[in-house]
Structure 1
Amino acid sequence: MANKYLNQDYETLRSQCLMQRKLFCDPSFPATFGSLGFDELGPNSNNTKGVEWKRPGELCSKPQFIISGATRTDVCQGALGDCWLMAAIASLTINKDILARVIYPEQNFTDKYAGIFRFQLWQYGKWEEVVVDDLLPTINGKLLFVNSADQNEFWSALLEKAYAKVNGCYENLSGGHASEAQEDFTGGIAEWFSLNNAPSNLFDIVKKALSRGSLLSTSISVNYVGKERLTQEQLVEKHAYSITDATEVQAKHGQFKLVRLRNPWGHKEWTGAWSDCSKDWSQVSPEVKAKLFHSAEDGEFCTNPQFRVKLDIDSQGDDKCSVLIALMQKGARKAKQTVLPIGFYIYKYKGKQNVLLGCEDLQGSVARSHFSNKREVYQRFDLPLAEYFIIPATFEPNQEASFLLRVFSEK
């Protein structure tokens, strides 16, 4: 049985708000600068200029707590140096039992909604049920901190707020080790291994830990003072990654031990051996690749259809064109199938005539839509006059759907 953090009882507070027909405002963690921070996120900081606290219903028309299950791609780091916490939250999604204990997945924005949510965190030997209101810090209508790839989904942002509450403020989450949060999500003990002095069976330890539902993370330890730096293979030093899988792959030239990592930023991926576009994958059968979900987490589509469009009409008076793009999923209702979360990416065309984009071209999109499990996803963009490729995609890898892509511009 969990304690009531700060003696705040979720059921009592929600009932009071429903009776009074008002939304919960947490007096113990108010929507003020004091909850943001004291220095870099203090009231006089440039980082907090224009901050407004808004509820999810003010940010989108139909907010949801969880869409199609909580996944590691729901955890994209915002303007806060808490990659260690993001890595822990991302690894939390791998174990559904632990996840359900921490976030209470039945919560929603419809049934007896009163602007109050609860989470369960382990704090110094005791489980604490922590309540928060759903007022979240935003700038220009966008979440300032953690966000989901789907703009209607808010479980990760609310969990981050609960964790900020038990630690005093958001700024107190800047800098740390993923193991700290992983202990607070499980009540377990964190074990640490240095690759400079690791046991010979470390890979087996990792595999067994993952199979038993343990939460794993890793980072590159360096001694310099300053900001994070990229390695030649695009790994980020002093940055926390969650470990999401470990497996052995049989290839043409032997057996390889692979570990899959997740970057909380949602971009900047490993480009060395066995990376998404590596030629090493040519040694592996299609069946093995499918089993391993060989695909970029933030969108790698050498196999997805590519649609080339040319914007050459200046509709804005600034060498830009307003374009409306709509992606519609076909036949799901008729076939009694689940509507998959879909969306699309836009890449600037820099290649040769009649040649599709390759792996090296897909490292960074110029724009992207939100992903949603609706029949149609649409979004308007103001893009510089140029040629582009539009690449539709499902949110999760290795899913297929029939679709209709429509593009409307001034021409």
Structure 2
Amino acid sequence: MPPPTSGLFVDPEFPPCVSSLVRGGGTPLSPLCDRITWLRPQEIFASPHLFPENSTLGLGKQGILGDCWFICACFALHKSNKLLHQVFPPGQYTWKDPEYTGRFTCRFWRFGRWVDVTIDDCLPCLGQKLCFSHCQDQGAFWLPLLEKAYAKLHGSYESLWAGQVVDALVDLTGGLVERWSVEDAEDNVRKKMLCRMLDLKDRCAISCSVLHSKEGSGHLGEFHAFTITDIQHGVTKYGQELILLRVHNPWGRSCWSGAWGKNSDKWSLMDKSDSAKFLNDLKDGEFWVENEEFLQEFNEVTMAFPVDEMDYIQSIWTDCPLLHTQQLHGSWVKGQTAGGSRNNVSFADNPKFWLVVKELSEVYLALMQRPQSEISADCTHRSQLRSVISKSYPLYAIGLHVWKVEKRRFNLQKTILSPVVAGTSSHSYDRQLHLHCELSPGYYLVIPSTFLRDTEGDFLLRVFSSEPIILSEITSHQPIVKTSEDDVKGTWETREVKGQLKKDVNAGGSRNFSSYCLNPTIPFIVSSKTRLVRVTLKQHCQGKHCHAIGFHVYMVPYDSGLSPFVQEPRASCVPHSYSPEVSMVCDLCPGQYIIVPSTYLPNQECDFSVFISTKMERKSIQSQETLGKILKEVSVVKVMN
């Protein structure tokens, strides 16, 4: 009899019920939900353990969930204990420990930082067996627990039904991942790919995919991912040299009947001792493929960059450690910094960055977009925001271009019309893309863009290099309303509202985060006699440390039951700027409004003041502040000439 499970932790944010399995249906998983039960590992296996007792049984099997892409990416953890312990922190209490509570924590790299995801160990089963991922050692449970944490991060198991190996590898490693198209590559490029795969097979995870079915030598499926577990040289009795790739199907069964399939006559061309070495090593779902046949049957290869003993990412092309790295967040904002591709005259409006290279350097520039409606990592553990779950994460077509300039004072329009030093050949619907280049010392202009103008989104720009570099944003002046001298003359009344942004209370971050609605709101009224209002947000910096700040102005809906956040802002002082204060003049229609100050990232604490200025003869602003101790109002009168 299994030990009792009452009193153990049950995750209220991702409970063992149908809502954690599906969020809207549309996949083959939905009809099976009524048959799925939730069991803890000690109810499934007599003596459960986290990791396989025999490391050769560490390969994962897929189950009935269509997440082969995630299972294949987990092979990176099977190859590296360092990565495994990063994602599955050691020291957690398991089923044999008296302190065991049924709670586990996993980590994933999301948009620039590692995020903890805590779950219970109730796992979906059909009958008494796991119905989703599991290890070949059926008593090892690290993989189904990691899969559950990843499902929680995405909102449901159903959200994992389809995806990209490249995205899962980034989430599990926090590094760089390269994807190669096999079928479109020229012969010399294919040879170069195969050479690098041979060199790196023991140091990094390699996956391959079939994107469309072919009339080939096996039933490889369509849109299906596999893992390359080994690459070996072989020689026939007649001296013919071979390169054989060992491929693992996460279905856990062989689907290959090609020239070097398990029961093929081809093995008789080798000495028995040699063929035995190849065949005896095969695990469930594995098969050998000769390199030419591999290039015919598979469409893509995905390779994670290796990490050396010092935790530095290594270039997959030169083996050079990328010792220097920097990253910056940014946004494409409609009407301001969402300039679109180079086909648009507004391309120069896109966010711009300086990259200063000090020595001849191998450089990788990685651009990652935040999928729309994705849950902020800061909100993953907030029960009040559990309902903010996105069924799918649509992506925009993004691109990245780099120019070298002679000095920092340059003609922007002439530069962007000149040839690039490096750039994407086309905008692509990828979550992350990167450029690889060798850059000489000097200044470089870097511009990330979406294909269509006025496409709003959030992005992360990372640079990895072999030599020292400096990455910084090229700041621009905040847009203001044009005013005449008569407009600004006279006596203005300024009301100062002081407040604090506090971690886990009201520091909700920018609109790119679901926690944005937690930010303070400062109400005010615009009368029919006044339209121009100057709003200034000042952060009280400690020393020289400033957060990126900005604000939005919303009109309060006439229907009191509606939230102001359901509509677009009437004025926006963005993108967020690393400066002590930001300001703009707003041309507003009469009505009730709120100002929402924010830092770019959530949970960044600071004291702030919001100054609301209007002419005294136009009685236009009436404070209705109701935030108690967090905010207090000070009245100041200024004379503006």
Q: Which residue of 2 aligns with 1:23?
A: 8
How many pairs align?
274
Q: Is the 8 A contact 2:57 2:136 kept in 1?
A: no
Q: Which residue of 1 aligns with 2:194?
A: 203
Measured after TM superposition, the shift of residue 234 of structure 1 is 2.9
Cα RMSD of the aligned pairs, angstroms, is 2.7
Q: TM-score, normalised by structure 2?
A: 0.40
Q: Is the 8 A contact 1:179 1:217 kept in 2?
A: no
Decide which of 210, 225, 247 is 1:261's aligned counterpart: 247
Write the distance in 2 (CA, Å) between the matches of 1:126 and 1:103.
16
- Aligned residue for 1:258, secondary structure, equals strand
Decide which of 289, 297, 312 is 2:283's aligned counterpart: 297
Matched, 1:240 2:228: no
Measured after TM superposition, the shift of residue 241 of structure 1 is 0.2
1:91-120 per-position Cα deviation (integer Å, ceiling 9, x unaligned): 431233322322246543112211011222
Measured after TM superposition, the shift of residue 69 of structure 1 is 4.5
Q: Is the 8 A contact 2:262 2:279 kept in 1?
A: no
Write the distance in 1 (CA, Å) between the matches of 2:232 and 2:222.
24
Q: Which residue of 2 aligns with 1:156?
A: 143
Letter in 1 for 2:201: L
Q: Is the 8 A contact 1:73 1:297 kept in 2?
A: no
**Greater shift after overlay, 153-162 or 71-80?**
71-80
Write the distance in 2 (CA, Å) between the matches of 1:118 and 1:292.
38
Letter in 1 for 2:196: I
Q: Which residue of 2 aligns with 1:88?
A: 73
Alignment of 1:97-176 (within 5 A): 97-104=82-89, 107=92, 108-111=94-97, 112-176=99-163
Measured after TM superposition, the shift of residue 51 of structure 1 is 2.1
**Identical amino acids, percent of aligned pairs:** 35
Q: Is the 8 A contact 2:72 2:225 kept in 1?
A: yes
Q: Which residue of 1 aligns with 2:209?
A: 219
Write the distance in 1 (CA, Å) between the matches of 2:74 and 2:215.
23
Q: TM-score, normalised by structure 1?
A: 0.61
Q: Which structure 2 segments of 5+ residues have no match? A: 1-5, 287-641
Measured after TM superposition, the shift of residue 279 of structure 1 is 2.2
Letter in 2 for 1:197: A
Write the distance in 2 (CA, Å) between the matches of 1:287 and 1:210.
24
Q: Which residue of 2 aligns with 1:280?
A: 266
Q: Which residue of 1 aligns with 2:234?
A: 249
- Aligned residue for 1:243, secondary structure, equals strand
1:186-229 per-position Cα deviation (integer Å, ceiling 9, x unaligned): 11222111112151321111122323x2211111122xxxxx78
Q: Is the 8 A contact 2:109 2:174 kept in 1?
A: yes
Distance 1:194 1:92, change over 3 A: same
Q: Is the 8 A contact 1:246 1:258 kept in 2?
A: yes
Measured after TM superposition, the shift of residue 295 of structure 1 is 4.3
Q: Which has the larger radius of gyration?
A: 2
Decide which of 42, 62, 67 is 1:57's aligned counterpart: 42
Write the distance in 1 (CA, Å) between the matches of 2:76 and 2:272.
27
Measured after TM superposition, the shift of residue 287 of structure 1 is 4.4
1:355-402 per-position Cα deviation (integer Å, ceiling 9, x unaligned): xxxxxxxxxxxxxxxxxxxxxxxxxxxxxxxxxxxxxxxxxxxxxxxx
Distance 1:187 1:299, change over 3 A: closer
- Aligned residue for 2:134, secondary structure, equals coil
Q: Is the 8 A contact 2:45 2:139 kept in 1?
A: yes
Matched, 1:179 2:170: no
Distance 1:232 1:75, change over 3 A: same
Write the distance in 2 (CA, Å) between the matches of 1:91 and 1:270.
24
Letter in 1 for 2:100: Y
Q: Is the 8 A contact 2:52 2:58 kept in 1?
A: no
Write the distance in 2 (CA, Å) between the matches of 1:106 and 1:288.
42
Distance 1:229 1:31, change over 3 A: farther
Letter in 1 for 2:15: P
Q: Is the 8 A contact 1:102 1:121 kept in 2?
A: yes
Q: Which structure 1 segments of 5+ residues have no match? A: 1-20, 223-227, 301-411
Q: Is the 8 A contact 1:40 1:47 kept in 2?
A: no
Write the distance in 1 (CA, Å) between the matches of 2:218 and 2:17.
41
Write the distance in 2 (CA, Å) between the matches of 1:270 and 1:184.
30
Q: Which structure exhibits the higher relative contact order, with contacts defined as CA atoms closer than 8 Å and separated by 6 or more residues?
A: 1
- Aligned residue for 1:121, secondary structure, equals strand
Measured after TM superposition, the shift of residue 88 of structure 1 is 1.3
Write the distance in 2 (CA, Å) between the matches of 1:146 and 1:203.
30
| Runs of 4+, deviation exceeding 6 Å | none
Write the distance in 1 (CA, Å) between the matches of 2:89 and 2:280.
31
Distance 1:235 1:122, change over 3 A: same
Q: Which residue of 1 aligns with 2:404?
A: none
